[in-house]
């Protein structure tokens, strides 16, 4: 199936991808970033999946989320009748579970159930036995135990568990799959119908708290719900995506593990959540940020595990062929050890947004910030790996220097506004020095634009953030020239690509599609320029790329007309929320002061 043929369900500890064919092809237990027990997404059914589908071959399928929730309903229709599969994961449960309720709609429908559990990313075949109470089966491999309970008769077949049954109009047949530890008793049984009622209400109540009531509310709510489902309720961390190794270009090798929390996303996360009225979640994310970055400033990473883990060692899975043979499949992310100067700016900006938004106490994170700025003062002149995590050598990236400016700028504003103790005079001089350096070395008179790195003539979509972070006002001719140059050189088929060095097909960077967040950034820039019609048109084009469930991946392949990259992608959905709120409120969301 295409990437956009999947839907997401989750319980705020982990998440699963459900295909429109009724197959759950991806699930990691017991956490977002732990080993997958269903890995067919990156291989074949033998690597683990759970299928519920009609026995008949000629079917039509429709699907939707039930209201403003994360309960997914897939309806199958044939010539003889119809039934739906309602998929969800109960929140705040003793043990994490996937519940699937087969609901008869019309006629009498034959249904097939095929469960193939494969732990350790598809490599470990479990030992399957009947549960002592006769309610189903348990599967054990190493530390893992999964119990399947259902009233339907089950049987073993080719190292899988299968069933064939019929469902009548009005009948509801439950299947409950629950995770546990093999050295403990099987997790207790769950009443599927009671779990259904108790799961729907919290999601709809949470969605009801959204303060945005504009014309694009549906898109904002679905994005916020998706982000909530990608949030760990225990730590407050938000993963970039629930998947690993979905390719940026089908058949390519740019396949990365996104099941971690990026510091870079902190500011956008706080802005989007607070802009929509979700202060509790913003505070939890702020606290996760503070815990994760605590320690020696020189050890600051660009990303952390969902609980703040630092070691995210990268390795390749040799037995998985990859999504549509896109190799390699990677677990972990070596980019976590890169030097990316913009992280210091993102951290300072996130804490600034939190303070301005009233997420007290005002002193929160100030001690960490002071030490971080002392370290940044020593290293800001060094080349780094850049915002796009390039693995081809360090450069003097312009965006990185701008974000170093942001780090000192936000700290100066916070110290002045909130009376925090700081070496203000030194910081002001550093801020001004960085600003002069960027304007002198990061701007091309020939192009009339800021460039990707000092001394180059290449463009970079991250430069669209210059007015967004307040480095220069949007009215500045250098900013206007940068926006115009990006429109001229980085717009591909109506969307924005990150950069175009080493161009591949259709002018895109080799090995990837258009990066969706960049197009949202251009819409933001147009909005600031007063070009409302163009900004709205771009937003409409981006919204049209969502799948039928309102979900976006990281990138879009304009040649194949399909989504690409890890899915769903938090950065895309965060950018969507920010752009919608900015257009409807007519003002930037962040409380920043543009440089003179």
Which has the higher per-residue pLDDT, 392 or 328? 328
Which residues, 6 or more positions from 12, have their beta carbon under 8 angstroms from its beta carbon? 91, 228, 229, 231, 232, 233
Interatomic CA distance for residues 176 and 192, integer angstroms:
7
Beta bridge partner(s), residue 52:
113
Maximum mean pLDDT: which of 79-88, 491-500, 503-512: 79-88
- pLDDT bracket for residue 162 (50, 70, 90): very high
What pLDDT, in 10s, does the model give residues 175-193?
999 999 999 998 999 999 9
The alpha carbon of 106 is separated from its chain's Cα centroid by a whole number of angstroms, namely 37
- Position 380 pLDDT exceeds 90: yes
Interatomic CA distance for residues 220 and 539, integer angstroms:
12
Packing angle between helix 532-543 and helix 570-585, nearest 10 degrees? 150
Which two three-digit tokens encode residue 30?
């017991």
Interatomic CA distance for residues 40 and 116, integer angstroms:
10
Which residues, 6 or more positions from 549, have their beta carbon under 8 angstroms from its beta carbon? 7, 8, 63, 64, 65, 72, 222
Contact 76, 20 (CB under 8 A): no
* CB neighbours of residue 325 within 10 Å: 10
- Position 429 pLDDT exceeds 90: yes
Interatomic CA distance for residues 348 and 356, integer angstroms:
12
Q: What are phi and psi for residue 117, nearest 5 degrees?
A: -95, 130
Average the pLDDT over each of 48-57, 269-278, 299-308 and give the range with the smallest value: 269-278
Q: What angle do CA 182, 185, 188 make, to 5 degrees?
A: 120
285-298 as b/e: b if 16+ CB within 10 A = bbbbbbbbbeeebe
Interatomic CA distance for residues 126 and 143, integer angstroms:
11
Question: Maximum CA pair distance of the chain?
Answer: 78
Contact 506, 559 (CB under 8 A): yes
State if pTM tops 0.85.
yes
pLDDT at 595: 34
What pLDDT, in 10s, does the model give residues 321-347?
999 999 999 999 998 889 899 999 998
* CB neighbours of residue 66 within 10 Å: 15
Packing angle between helix 279-293 and helix 265-275, nearest 10 degrees? 160
Which has the higher per-residue pLDDT, 310 or 268? 310
Interatomic CA distance for residues 21 and 6, integer angstroms:
9
SS3 542: helix
Interatomic CA distance for residues 548 and 541, integer angstroms:
15
Beta bridge partner(s), residue 141:
144
Q: Which residue carries 């089966």 as its tokens?
A: 137
pLDDT at 449: 97
pLDDT at 281: 86
pLDDT at 432: 97
Provide mean pLDDT across the span 573-577. Answer: 95
CA-CA-CA-CA torsion sign (346, 351, 352, 357): positive
pLDDT at 509: 54
Which residues, 6 or more positions from 197, have their beta carbon under 8 angstroms from its beta carbon? none
* Length of the chain (residues): 596
* CB neighbours of residue 391 within 10 Å: 9
- Position 527 pLDDT exceeds 90: yes
pLDDT at 587: 43
SS3 236: coil
Which two three-digit tokens encode residue 450?
């800021």
* CB neighbours of residue 94 within 10 Å: 11
Which two three-digit tokens encode residue 189?
């049984």
The alpha carbon of 522 is separated from its chain's Cα centroid by a whole number of angstroms, namely 20
**420, 421, 427, 431 alpha-carbon torsion, rounded to 10°:** 0
Provide mean pLDDT across the span 202-229. Answer: 94
- Which domains are assigned to the chain? 3-204 (2.70.98.40), 209-585 (1.50.10.10)
Contact 153, 162 (CB under 8 A): no
Interatomic CA distance for residues 78 and 73, integer angstroms:
17
- Position 391 pLDDT exceeds 90: no
The DSSP bridge pattern shows strands 60-65 and 72-77 to be antiparallel
pLDDT at 443: 98
Transcribe 487-530 into DSSP letters. Answer: HHHTEETTEE-S--TTB-GGGPBTT--EEHHHHHHHHHHHHHTT
Average the pLDDT over each of 33-47, 64-78, 419-433, 506-520 and give the range with the smallest value: 506-520
- pLDDT bracket for residue 250 (50, 70, 90): very high
What pLDDT, in 10s, does the model give residues 42-52?
999 999 999 99
Across the chain, mean pLDDT equals 92
Provide mean pLDDT across the span 426-452. Answer: 97
Q: What are phi and psi for residue 136, nearest 5 degrees?
A: 165, -145
pLDDT at 92: 87
Contact 220, 581 (CB under 8 A): yes
């Amino acid at each position: 199936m295409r990437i956009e043929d999947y839907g997401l369900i989750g319980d705020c500890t982990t998440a699963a991808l459900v295909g429109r064919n009724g197959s759950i092809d991806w699930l990691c237990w017991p956490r977002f970033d732990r080993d997958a027990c269903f890995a067919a997404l990156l291989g074949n059914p033998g690597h683990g999946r759970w299928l519920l589908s009609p026995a008949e071959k000629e079917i039509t399928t429709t699907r939707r989320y039930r209201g403003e929730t994360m309960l997914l309903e897939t309806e199958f229709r044939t010539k003889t009748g119809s039934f739906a599969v309602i998929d969800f994961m109960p929140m705040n449960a003793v043990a994490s579970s996937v519940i699937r309720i087969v609901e008869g709609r019309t006629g009498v429908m034959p249904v097939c159930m095929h469960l193939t559990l494969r732990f350790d990313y598809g490599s470990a075949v479990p030992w399957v036995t009947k549960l002592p109470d006769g309610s189903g089966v348990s599967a054990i491999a190493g530390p893992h135990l999964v119990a399947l309970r259902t009233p339907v008769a089950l049987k073993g077949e080719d190292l899988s568990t299968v069933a064939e049954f019929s469902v009548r109009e009005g009948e509801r047949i439950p299947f409950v799959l629950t995770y546990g530890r093999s050295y403990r008793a099987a997790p207790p049984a769950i009443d599927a119908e009671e779990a259904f009622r108790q799961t729907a209400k919290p999601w709809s109540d949470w969605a009801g708290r959204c303060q945005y009531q504009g014309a694009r509310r549906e898109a904002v709510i679905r994005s916020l719900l998706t982000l909530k489902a990608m949030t760990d309720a225990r730590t407050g961390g938000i993963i970039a995506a629930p998947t690993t190794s979905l390719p940026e270009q089908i058949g390519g090798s740019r396949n990365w593990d996104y099941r971690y929390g990026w510091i870079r996303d902190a500011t956008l996360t706080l802005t989007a959540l607070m802009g929509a009225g979700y202060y509790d979640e913003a505070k939890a994310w702020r606290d996760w940020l503070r815990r994760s970055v605590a320690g020696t400033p020189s050890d600051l990473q660009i990303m952390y595990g969902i609980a703040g883990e630092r070691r995210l060692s990268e390795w390749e899975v040799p037995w998985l062929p990859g999504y549509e043979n896109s190799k390699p499949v990677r677990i972990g992310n070596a980019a976590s050890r890169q030097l990316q100067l913009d992280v210091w700016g993102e951290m300072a900006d996130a804490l600034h947004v939190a303070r301005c938004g009233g997420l007290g106490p005002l002193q929160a994170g100030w001690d960490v910030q002071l030490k971080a700025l002392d370290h940044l003062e020593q290293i800001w002149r060094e080349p780094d790996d850049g915002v796009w995590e390039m693995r081809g050598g360090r450069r003097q990236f312009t965006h990185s220097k701008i974000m170093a400016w942001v780090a000192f700028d936000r700290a100066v504003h916070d110290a002045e506004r909130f009376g925090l103790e700081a070496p203000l005079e030194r910081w002001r001089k550093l801020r001004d020095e960085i600003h002069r350096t960027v304007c002198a070395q990061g701007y091309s008179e020939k192009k009339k634009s800021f460039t990707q790195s000092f001394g180059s003539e290449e463009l970079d979509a991250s430069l669209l953030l210059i007015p967004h972070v307040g480095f220069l006002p949007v009215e500045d001719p250098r900013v206007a020239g940068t926006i115009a140059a990006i429109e001229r050189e980085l717009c591909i088929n109506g969307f924005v690509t990150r950069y175009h060095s080493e161009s591949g097909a259709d002018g895109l960077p080799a090995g990837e599609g258009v990066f969706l967040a960049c197009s949202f950034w251009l819409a933001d820039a147009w909005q600031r320029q007063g070009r409302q019609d163009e900004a709205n048109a771009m937003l409409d084009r981006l919204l049209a790329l969502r799948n039928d469930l309102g979900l976006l991946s990281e990138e879009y392949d304009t040649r194949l007309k399909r989504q690409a990259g890890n899915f769903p992608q938090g950065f895309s959905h965060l950018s969507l929320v920010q752009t919608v709120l900015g257009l409807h409120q007519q003002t930037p969301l962040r409380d920043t002061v543009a440089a003179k």
